[in-house]
Amino acid sequence: MNAREVIERLSKDELVDLVLEYSDNGYFPLEPFLLKSDYAFTRDNLKNIWESAEARKYEDQKSDLGADLLSNVAELCFAHAKRLKNANEQEDIMQMLIDDLVRAREEDGIGMYTGDEWLYDEVREKIEEWQDK
């Protein structure tokens, strides 16, 4: 069985219903899916999405799912924040991401099982480089 083949057989409505149902039941966070869209998110949308990324719930697992989730959501929020028209709102999101990534790293890596602090550093450095331009 090829998972891609099975999923491609679902209608768009079936797939949307499945994603929403599984997210509502707590099987996975919906935020990374939302951020993959071309939707024009506002600063408040991005803040809410960022704050709802539940990386801490993976801390007791013997994996780096939480670290992966947090760094992926940070990178996706960063991509959307770059498209904000208001420079102050843009800076607000960028600084929030940087501050939270630094805090997550200093708290022994929120959601980390092993020492993958580099995940947070990598995203933070991309944001800082973009800010310096």
pLDDT in tens, 76-97: 999 999 999 999 999 999 999 9
In this model, does residue 108 exceed pLDDT 80? no
Burial class of 111 by CB neighbour count within 10 A (0 to 12, 13 to 18, 19+) = buried
Task: Report phi then psi at 47, rounded to 5.
Answer: -60, -45
Instruction: Please give the structure tokens belonging to residue 117.
Output: 């602090």
Compute the average pLDDT of residues 2-31. Answer: 88
Spatial CB neighbours of 7, under 8 Å, sequence gap ≥ 6:
15
- Structural contact between residues 49 and 41, judged by C-beta atoms closer than 8 angstroms: yes
Look up the pTM and report it.
Answer: 0.79
- Predicted local confidence at residue 32, as pLDDT: 80
**Average model confidence (pLDDT) across the chain:** 84
Task: Using the CB atoms, write b or e for 3-28: b if 16+ within 10 Å.
Answer: eeeeeeeeeeeeeeeeeeeeeeeeee
Q: How confident is the model at residue 46 (pLDDT cuts 50, 70, 90)?
A: very high
